[in-house]
Amino acid sequence: MLYLLDENIIAFPDPSTANPDGLLAIGGALTPEWLLLAYSHGIFPYYPYKKSKDIHWYCPQDRFVIFPTEIHVSHSMRSLINKNIFRVTCNQAFDEVIEHCSTVEDRDQERYAWLGGPMIEAYKKLHQLKHAMSIEVWSNEQLVGGLYGVVIGKNFFGESMFSLVPNASKMALIALSHIVGEAGGIIDCQFETPHLLSMGGRHITYDEYMDILGLS
């Protein structure tokens, strides 16, 4: 069943009623109140098409996550880390990271239509409220990779990453795993990708996911 949301009533239907592809509802708004309520229940916004005007909210019942203690760091990545080629920072260039992510995503304009102006501004507002975080990877003072996502409590909900040179996004994810691991949280990856699978991501059920989040 697909629900239509009234942007004046901040509420979501039962996540267990989501369609098989995870689509739960359409409508609502991208205000911090909507977004924080959504992420606290494993729901995230998406624009499936370039010309979409309505927000699509997804809540897959099969969750793909990374437990920080299970992050996979290959021998080649360990060697790269030891060479100190990259410098990693946190929340030093959030706006630049999300802009880079939108530029990279826009190369496939239909598939990655979701990260347009409204979404960018929404996550910038969350960052101002300390509910969004970025990891930056630098080489010779140039931003060459990074990622950003939503932060609620000890958990990180990944949104997008970019890499302008080989291994920069891997470096960002490894750094993120240390930060989230120290807090005792998990990294929500939303969907499986070969890259995230190679880094140690795995599937858990929605019920397991919500128990681990401890937000409801």
Q: Show me where the domains of the chain are located.
A: 3-61, 63-213
pLDDT at 109 over 60: no
Average pLDDT estimate for 178-196 = 94
Average pLDDT estimate for 172-194 = 95
Q: What is the mean pLDDT of the chain?
A: 92
pLDDT of 197 reads: 95
In angstroms, the CA 149 to CA 26 distance is 22
**More confidently predicted of 190 and 133:** 133
pLDDT at 188 over 50: yes
pLDDT at 107 over 50: no
* Segment among 101-110, 111-120, 127-136 with least mean pLDDT: 101-110
**What angle, 0 to 180 degrees and rounded to 10, lies between the N-to-C axes of helices 117-128 and 94-105?**
160
Q: How many residues does the chain have?
A: 216
pLDDT of 155 reads: 97
pLDDT of 102 reads: 87
pLDDT of 108 reads: 45
CATH class, 3-61 region: alpha beta
pLDDT at 44 over 50: yes
CATH class, 63-213 region: alpha beta
**More confidently predicted of 73 and 48:** 73
pLDDT of 93 reads: 98
Portion of the chain with pLDDT greater than 70, in percent? 93
pLDDT of 110 reads: 43
Portion of the chain with pLDDT greater than 90, in percent? 84
pTM: 0.92
Which of 7, 187, 174 is closest to 82 using CA atoms? Answer: 174
pLDDT of 14 reads: 95
Indicate the helix (H) or strand (E) that contains 54: none
pLDDT of 216 reads: 61
pLDDT of 141 reads: 93
